[in-house]
Structure 1
């Protein structure tokens, strides 16, 4: 199926099957031949490809088959929700009512449990000549309260900007803080050579289980990305702290970050207050064990475990309310 705009195309194909349920892929292509591929499974951002001087470059970590997306523990490209990140002790309260969920990360709940949006196959439609709309209704899986209707819209414009919009409404007080678990690797050079700038003066202090303590720390030394810095340099600066990877949440506002190489850059924008970065290797388990990272996840969201820290932002969605969040990712060719 094609829908043609003046400069845009959206093409739908079958990517695989879950049981008897087809998983569809949609490719949106703009006038510059920049394209994104998105999947109904987990409303996944499967690829982001640009053409420079006739040569295609993929900017994100991706798999070419459904099986790898289902098997990977790294949530590659998936929509995470209802709530991204960890919730302490797998419990929370809204308006004096306590809710207890099934832990799936020690005593805590991670990425909303084992039946979150990241494990669902969404309904889908071509929404316009440059966007695809995914919809799914979550009905109290993993003990979250309420029936939650979620829409995830991916669009690509002729300025090479990808926009992901999350809309949700609920029939019961609940939580909502989704993200796209996309991993960037924007060039042929090692991810350690790529440079990162995060517009942040504070990041979230966590305990040994990666649960926020409630404190915000100044972005100094390893965590200082206020000016462009090679990711490898940041990783070296972690060594004296006995840390081998980034898995950290930064306080951001609007233009959150830029990742750049010699040839190109990606600017990240958000209307929420958090950016989680995670250095990883989802494609090679042995290299991952040796901390040979292939990419960096950059997750735009409200700060993790915000329900327990009021100054982290609001993730409460009250009954009969609607909410909308937008993440943007803009590609720029540098030379």
Structure 2
């Protein structure tokens, strides 16, 4: 196993460093210290062809705006916060409104648009990168100075393990995720409509017209959201269902997971034979099928379009601060935020 480290670009007179982890099977994961962005994941198909299975950009400049959040760590709070404000311990905090009237994915800057400290890590049987960043009190409107550490580790089981750890000196909100878009066809040969997705989930969250949870958990039974036995994505995306239509004809919904670290999310592309199994200790996953990907961006030589990638954003439930019956995002000074998600790549 090895890790290759090189200067890729520069921003604010600081180097943007690229790290490529390579395991003994030839699988590669490349990431950068700007936003902890995963730029490439190279895995074999059923015929042994190694190809990239994520969306990203060939060069650094598009990542500076990166409106689709390709590959980035999202925080301090992933998802939307209604009306871009919240109350915590009797005090009201106002955040920036960066999506209509709401706050999305940590704000204009967020954790996805900062340079992180990064060091290569080499252990027996695994290599990786440990990122760290201190988000100052008041950044993007959030209280507390938060020390965040994100670690990416690649092992010889073709698993990418992402670990999140954080502490705050004041009570604050924290809900982190990774926003990688997967396309298992390899080198973006096809869109994701023929991918099959299986999720161990009996309930999903109803969304309103602004894509904010209403607070109602809906039963997946007899709906396009019943993925318990697996479903071809296009069968759900093309369905005539109000919740499919409200997000632009597709999925952009939080699912409540029934199981953890037990093959609870499985994505499969029959054409390439590639599989992705996601296991996590997070309570939910937001499934986003790229319904709002703008056309015309150059993604490794392929023009962007709807349904070119799927995000599996494992995280706490969106807008939880406004829904007391959702699992809490609140991080107290005496607590440690900790979360682990494993992405295992295979073929069948």
TM-score of the alignment, normalized to the shorter chain, above 0.5: yes
Q: What SS class does the counterpart of residue 235 from structure 2 fall into? A: helix
Matched-pair contact (CA < 8 Å) for 1:17–1:23: yes
Which residue number in structure 2 is paired with residue 308 of structure 1? Answer: 322
The alpha carbon displacement at 1:54 in A equals 5.1
**Aligned partner of 1:285 among 296, 321, 324:** 296
Matched-pair contact (CA < 8 Å) for 1:165–1:326: yes
Matches within 5 A, 1:210-229: 210-219=211-220, 220-229=222-231
Which residue number in structure 2 is paired with residue 3 of structure 1? Answer: none
Which residue number in structure 1 is paired with residue 332 of structure 2? Answer: 318
Which residue number in structure 1 is paired with residue 180 of structure 2? Answer: 182
Which residue number in structure 2 is paired with residue 5 of structure 1? Answer: none
Q: What SS class does the counterpart of residue 226 from structure 1 fall into? A: coil
More helix by share: 1
Which residue number in structure 2 is paired with residue 272 of structure 1? Answer: 282
The alpha carbon displacement at 1:49 in A equals 0.7
Give the alignment's Cα RMSD to 1 decimal: 2.2
**Aligned partner of 1:12 among 5, 15, 18:** 5
Q: Does 1:295 align with 2:303?
A: no
Alpha-carbon distance between aligned partners in 1 of 2:306 and 2:80, rounded to the nearest angstrom: 25
Alpha-carbon distance between aligned partners in 2 of 1:26 and 1:283, rounded to the nearest angstrom: 28
Q: Does 1:132 align with 2:129?
A: yes
**Aligned partner of 2:269 among 257, 261, 265:** 261
Alpha-carbon distance between aligned partners in 2 of 1:214 and 1:261, rounded to the nearest angstrom: 33
| Structure 2 CA distance for partners of 1:222 and 1:290, relative to 1, 3 Å | farther
Q: What SS class does the counterpart of residue 237 from structure 1 fall into? A: coil
Matched-pair contact (CA < 8 Å) for 1:221–1:237: no
1:121-141 alpha-carbon deviations (Å, 9 max, x no partner) = 111001224121011111121
Alpha-carbon distance between aligned partners in 2 of 1:190 and 1:106, rounded to the nearest angstrom: 29
Q: Does 1:246 align with 2:239?
A: no
Normalised to the residue count of structure 1, the TM-score between the two structures is 0.92
Q: What SS class does the counterpart of residue 264 from structure 2 fall into? A: strand
Instruction: Give the unaligned 5+ runs of structure 2.
Output: none
The alpha carbon displacement at 1:166 in A equals 0.8
Matched-pair contact (CA < 8 Å) for 1:238–1:245: no
Which residue number in structure 2 is paired with residue 162 of structure 1? Answer: 160
Q: Does 1:149 align with 2:147?
A: yes
Of residues 78-87 and 272-281 in structure 1, the stretch that sits farther from structure 2 once superposed is 272-281
| Structure 2 CA distance for partners of 1:30 and 1:214, relative to 1, 3 Å | same
Q: Does 1:331 align with 2:345?
A: yes
Matched-pair contact (CA < 8 Å) for 1:32–1:51: no
| Structure 2 CA distance for partners of 1:291 and 1:227, relative to 1, 3 Å | farther
1:276-299 alpha-carbon deviations (Å, 9 max, x no partner) = 111127584389x99642111111
Alpha-carbon distance between aligned partners in 1 of 2:240 and 2:69, rounded to the nearest angstrom: 24
Q: What SS class does the counterpart of residue 223 from structure 1 fall into? A: coil
1:300-335 alpha-carbon deviations (Å, 9 max, x no partner) = 10111111223321211112432111111101121x
Which residue number in structure 2 is paired with residue 4 of structure 1? Answer: none
Instruction: Give the unaligned 5+ runs of structure 1.
Output: 1-7
Matched-pair contact (CA < 8 Å) for 2:79–2:104: yes
**Aligned partner of 1:230 among 232, 238, 243:** 232
**Aligned partner of 2:57 among 63, 68, 71:** 63
Q: What SS class does the counterpart of residue 285 from structure 1 fall into? A: coil
Q: What SS class does the counterpart of residue 311 from structure 1 fall into? A: coil
Alpha-carbon distance between aligned partners in 2 of 1:292 and 1:83, rounded to the nearest angstrom: 25
Kindly tell me the number of residue pairs found equivalent between the two proteins.
Answer: 327
